[in-house]
Every structure is written in C-alpha cells, then in structure tokens.
A and B are shown apart, each in its own frame.
Chain A
Amino acid sequence: MPDLLTAKFAEWKERSQAVKTWSVRAARLMIGVPDYDTYVRHRQENHPGLPIMTYEEFFAERQEARYAVGKGRFRGCC
C-alpha cells in the first residue's frame, strides 16, 4: 500500500512539475521569448561549431525582434 502511495505521489509530483514547465514556457512566449534550451539544442545539433548566444544575448535579440519595425508584427487589439 505505501508503495502505491509513493508511486502516486511521484506521478503527481512529475505532473505538477510538467505543468509548471509548460506554464513558464507559455508565459515567456506570450511576451515573445521562445524557449532558450530549445534554441541551444537546435544550434548544437544543426550548427555545431558556430557561436551560440548566451541567454542574455538571446533575450535582447528576441526583445528587439518582437518590436522590430519592418517585420509587420501586429498584436493585441482586439
């Protein structure tokens, strides 16, 4: 019985962890910042040896891009 409980607890913990991860990602993407780890993995897998931005550089780049005049990014009205 305690085994079952521990297993349930572990499962519940894992799930709430997942919800948290996804919520944080969603919140970041809402303000135009995609997942940094995904970016790093993409660079490592597809462009090995090429420079990878630090999180700070990545953030600044995304912030600039979100409001870049010239890309026709429309948001929120309506």
Chain B
Amino acid sequence: MSALSWNGNGLQTKLLWGAIATLGAVALGIVALSRGETVNAAWLVIAAVCIYFVAYRYYALFIASKVLGVDPKRPTPAVRHNDGLDYVPTNEYVLFGHHFAAIAGAGPLVGPVLAAQMGYLPGTLWILAGVVLAGAVQDMTVLFLSTRRDGRSLGDMVRSEMGPVASTIAGIGILLICIIILAVLALVVVQALNGSPWGTFTVFCTVPIALIMGVYGRYIRRGRVAEMSLIGFVLLMAALIYGQTVSQTPALAAYFNLSGPSLALIIIGYGFVASVLPVWLLLAPRDYLSTFMKIGVVTLLALAIIIVRPDLQMPALTKFVDGTGPVWAGSLFPFLFITIACGSVSGWHALIASGTTPKMIENEKQLPFIGYGAMLMESFVAIMAMVAACVLHPGVYFAMNTSAGLIGTTAAQAAQAVSNMGFVVTPDQLTQVAHDVGEITILSRTGGAPTLAVGMSQILSGLFGGQALTAIWYHFAILFEALFILTTVDAGTRVLRFMIQELVGNAIPAFKETKSWTNNIIGSAVACVLWGYILYQGVIDPYGGIWTMWPLFGTSNQMLAAIALVLCTVVLFKMKHEKFAWVTILPATWLVLCTVTAGLEKVFDPDPAIGFIAHARHLSSAIAAGQVLVPARSLGEMSRLVFNDYLDATLAALFAAVVVSMVVYGIISIRKALGAPKATAIEIEFAGAAAVGGSRA
C-alpha cells in the first residue's frame, strides 16, 4: 500500500470513504453536542481517527500531488548521496517510525492536559483542526522543501530563499525557543518529582542504570542495542518497584523527598554533566531507553483506551473559557491555540523535518505518508492525553493544577476552594486519590505530568492490575515522562551549546572549535545557566511557574511554526505555485495572528493576570506601600516577581517582533517572486543529479 495509491475510484472505495466520513461526523457530533451527560472516550477516538483518514486521503494527497508537485521520478538526496550512513534510501514504514520517534515528545502530552481547564471540547477541536490544516501541512511541506535541497536545515533554507537578515532573525527565534523549551520541560519534571520520594528515587536510578547500559554497550557487548535496552528496562522496573519500599521507609524516603529548588539545581547540574560526558556513557543509553519506552507506552495507552473505553468526567465546556481559569491565564483566543502547540502544530517539527528524515526518503511520493502521517499520529497522542486528563474527576483535576497560593495546602482548604470554583469535591476524594497513587499529596502538582499520570494510571489499571497496581502505574507514567524529558534536556543542552558556540564564534573564531574541551565546558555551562535561570525562577514562582511560563513556551513554539510556514509560502510563490499558496497562507496567517496577539497581550494587557507589565506595576505599587500580595510571601519575593515580569515581557515582545519581521521579509520575497518571469526557488537541479551523485563518498 504505497502512499499515493490510496485514490482508487471504484464504487466500493467511494462507499468506504463515505462510510468513514459519516462515522467521523456522527462521532464528532456526539462529542461536540452532548451536554450534561458523560461522553465515552471512544467517541473522541473514533472522531479523531476518521478525521485523520479522511484528511490524509483527501487533503494530504491533494497537497502532495497538486500543491507541492511531488515527482516520483526525481531522485531524492538518499538516492543521489547514498553513503549507507546519513543518506540511505529507507523503507517508508521504517522511516515513518524514525520520524515519529523524532517528533514525539513531552509537548503533546502536557499541552492538552493544561487545555482541559476549558473542558475537553475546545482543546479537542483545536487539536483536530490544527493538525489537519496547519501542523501536518507544515511538517510535510518543510520535509518536501528539505528533500528538494539535499536535506538542508530550516535556517539554511531561510537563508537561501529569503536572505541572510531573515535567516539571522529566524536563528534568534530558534535560540530563544531552545532555551524556553528546556526550561519549561525541566520545570514539568521538577513539579512532578517535588516532594515525591518514590518518583524521585526511580528517576534518579535512571542515571546509574544508563551508566551500566553505556559500559555494557561499549566494552562488554559492543553495539548490542537490544541486550542493553533489555538490561536497562529490567533494572528500571526493579527500581520502580523498589521505589515503593523507599517511599514507605522514612529513613530512606528522607533522602529523596526533595524540594522544588533543590530538584531544579540537581537537574541543572545533571544537564551540564550529561552534555559534557562522552555520549556513549550516559546520553545515548538513556536515549535508547526513553525512545523505546515512549513508543511502547504510547501503544499501550492507545490499546488501553480502546479496551477500557473510560467515560470523560470533565464537561465539554467549563466556565473558564472566559479566561479566568486557574491553570493558565488568558482567554480562549489566542491562548488556547498557544497552550496546545504540539499535537496541533509545532514549530519544533520544522527543525526535525529538515534534519535526518529528508536524507532517508526513498521516493518523493512517500512524503505525505511520512510528513503528514507521522504528525497525525502525534496528534493522536495529544487526543489520548486529553482523554487521560478528562477521565479524572474535575475537582481532582483543578486541585492538582491550581497553585498552592490559590487553593491552600491542606485537603480541606483545597476541596473548599475547588468546590467554590464550581467543581464540588470532598477532602476525602482528594486524599483518596493521593493514597491510591502512593503519594503524600496530589494538591498543586502543576505542570501536567502528574495529572496525565493519574489519568493514565486509572486507564491502565482498568486494563491490567486494578486498584492494587494504580500506584505502580502512576509512578511508571511519571518515570516515562521524566525519562524522555530529561533526555531532551541532555540533547537540547548540547544543541544549545553548539548554537552559542556558533553565535559567539562570529566574534571570537576560536570559540567555534567544537572539539576543544575548554569551549565544550564553557559552552555547556553558558547553555545550562541560560535555561537553568528560567527554570529556577519558574520553580520559585509563587504562581507555580507553569501558569506564567507555559504560555511563553507555546508562543515561542508557534512563532517557529509561523516562521516555517512563511518560508513554505515564499517557496510556493517562488516555484510559481501561487495558485495553491493558500494551503500554507491559511495556517501561517492564523499562527501569526495568535502569536502576535498573545505576545502583545502578554506585554501590554492592562489585566495584571495576563499582561506582564501590568502585573509588574501592580506589584511595584504594592511594594511601595509596603504590602505583600498573595501568593508572594515577602517583599523580596515581590521584587523578584517584578524582575521576572519584565524579563518575560521582553521575551514575549521579542517573539512578536520576530514573527512580524519574518512576515515583512516574507512579503518582500513574495513580491520579488511575483515579479520574476519564471520559477526562482533554489532547488537541487534535476538534470544535474548525476554530476552531484558522484562527488560524495
């Protein structure tokens, strides 16, 4: 079943697609229109899957054949530069797996959980519409562009198609997103492990386990991935089970019951060490474990949701669609579209789609399956995260995701505060959930990961183990999330180090040398300080960090998507395919609207809950009057908040500025392209393929 051979026109085929479309419409109708009664998660899954199939069959294949004009006869970089290493023509299913594993991460798991504060419906609709019209289109188009350009990176393509200034601006954008992503993801881990000896013990164990795997795979049985992964997995499960004993033995638990700030410092230090050590020792083995676990758990969760078919307890819409929600600040537009980035549309993917995947495409006709298809799969992960968050009792959900400054620290206070929000819950219910998952408390466990873990433990224990294994499943889910977030932190720190070396190297050429140990250590330290600073501020933020920082992360990610889609649009014009340019203009316009509105609101909105500057002024005037405002506890804390507000305002303004200047450069390039008599896109020549092919070993 090759990717483009889906378009049979027989009556049977037509009937089949008609049936899929009808089923999807019915399921979506049930999801969207039911009020007052619980909806089964199965309807959400059916609606999503039908929409994905129809979108793939009708939209992805249309874009590939008509808009991009993929040419099955055109040799791909993998064919022309085949070296058996980087450039290898690869079976499309194998490459699909590779690409999916590369794009899937923590983003689609966390965003939907946070978006659930508005009910399951707004987030779900945005996940589905976003992926079909924006996210998957971006991924496939960037993959196509890079495939036509020898697998060049996004930054390189912006340089060659839009000029050096645009490329520098995009580069600044990419650097900023890297810093924010590492800080926010690390914050998710800190919030999940804060005051949880079981979770902390298990996650700490991954370090010695990775070292054992690393030594085994290097010196004992070199390159035996399956063996080392199996050893790692068995040890990891042992650590997970022993973690329960640790948490129940006060003398041991004391060592692992750490506060947020200490966890943050440990993770920053760890990130530094991991990025300086040789990769085979720590980074690679962790990466293997986390990659396989990620794929395994996603499959397991999909099976569990299909078999268990839980009911969604969260209403379709909550009153927080008006922007007064306690999980993150801001109204539906633009902030919902910022909160769920990955799963709908993620700029980060533009970096991956212009990385290793385009160098392995066997034939251009496989682009929709790999580019569009893998993104649909990622979107499905986001739908599952939404299901996991919404099977929880809404009272439990809000108790977990509201900062302690707002709901207090005891079950009684929290139950009272959450009930006042309109989600009636008793203190007993809250302590029962904590007890079930083997934690001391579940209150104010912001960041999304613990909520997802509680939801997953409910679903997975429904599949296997029942009540008795809930606690194990919960910590398994936490371990799984922490493991691959920390792998991203390690790998990301190395990427950040490289970008800093490039940037500083422009002024001091000696700093560019990546083999030098001095450069290595200085570069890693600078990288860790950059994201570490933001992480630490997030951890000690009395609002709980996520409330402030997640919108910033979402904005940066959507900003990158806007950059990528502007590039795609420019190239479509340069290819003289402007008739179809609406395909990328539509999502680009939407993302520019969202990011610029969000950026400006974050800076200038007069409501202190949304605008950073308004908030800073609000605090400053209180400081002048000698008042301490909740949730801050001292005047010192207040001044720190003021400083962070100005820092965050600067970042938000920068994001908006980057987007606006990219749009300006995009329009300039498009005007030039329209004026040119023939296509001006700079692709690798078709006819010159043979000459290029021989030049590489």
Contacts and interface: CB of A to CB of B under 8 A. Distances in A.
B90 interface: yes
Contacts of A66: 279, 284, 287
A21 to B, nearest CB: 10
B85 A30 contact: no
A55 B223 contact: yes
Nearest to A34: B88
Contacts of A42: 82-84, 88
Q: Which among A55, A59, A73, A74 has the greatest number of chain B C-beta atoms within 10 A? A: A74
Given A22-B94, A26-B93, A34-B90, A78 B225 contact: no
A78 B222 contact: no
Contacts of A26: 93-94, 96-98
Contacts, number: 142
Nearest to B280: A63
State which size class the interface on B falls in.
35 or more
Interface in B204-255: 222-223, 225
B121 interface: no
A35 to B, nearest CB: 7
A76 B104 contact: yes
A40 B91 CA distance: 17
A7 interface: no
Interface in B496-547: 497-498, 501, 514
Q: Which among B360, B491, B492, B497 has the greatest number of chain A C-beta atoms within 10 A? A: B491
A75 B352 CA distance: 6
B109 to A, nearest CB: 10
A62 to B, nearest CB: 7
A48 to B, nearest CB: 13
Contacts of A60: 222-223, 280
B280 A31 contact: no
Contacts of B283: 67
Contacts of B98: 26, 29-30
Given A43-B84, A72-B495, A30 B101 contact: yes
Interface stretch (B323-331, B340-348, B626-634): B340-348
Given A77-B346, A77-B488, A69 B697 contact: no
B85 A56 contact: no
Nearest to B288: A31
A2 interface: no
A10 interface: no
A39 interface: yes
Contact of A78 (B84, B103, B356, B491): B103
Nearest to A74: B351
A39 B85 contact: yes
Contact of A77 (B97, B348, B355): B348
Contacts of A75: 102, 105, 352, 355, 488, 491
A78 B108 contact: yes
Contacts of A41: 84
B382 to A, nearest CB: 11
Contacts of A8: none
A58 to B, nearest CB: 8
Nearest to B524: A69
Given A29-B97, A31-B287, A74 B355 contact: yes
B232 to A, nearest CB: 12
A76 B84 contact: no
Contact of B107 (A34, A72, A73, A78): A78
B188 to A, nearest CB: 12
Nearest to B110: A78
A47 B181 CA distance: 43
B94 A25 contact: yes
A16 to B, nearest CB: 15
A17 B107 CA distance: 35
B514 to A, nearest CB: 5
B400 to A, nearest CB: 22
Contact of A46 (B82, B153, B225): B82
B295 interface: yes
B97 A56 contact: no
A52 to B, nearest CB: 9
A2 B488 CA distance: 55
Contacts of A33: 225
A76 B488 contact: yes
A61 B90 CA distance: 19
B193 interface: no
B670 interface: no
A26 B360 CA distance: 13
B480 interface: no
Q: Which among A27, A32, A40 has the greatest number of chain B C-beta atoms within 10 A? A: A27
A28 interface: yes
Contact of B222 (A28, A32, A59, A62): A59
Interface of A: 22, 25-35, 38-43, 46-47, 55-56, 58-67, 69-70, 72-78
13 contacts: A22-B94, A27-B225, A29-B360, A31-B284, A33-B225, A34-B88, A60-B280, A69-B495, A72-B498, A73-B495, A74-B495, A76-B104, A77-B492
- The 10 A-B pairs at the shortest CB distance, nearest first, are namely A78-B107, A59-B223, A39-B84, A26-B97, A42-B84, A76-B105, A78-B342, A74-B351, A30-B101, A67-B279
Given A35-B88, A59-B225, A78-B105, 4 more contacts: A26-B98, A34-B85, A72-B155, A77-B488
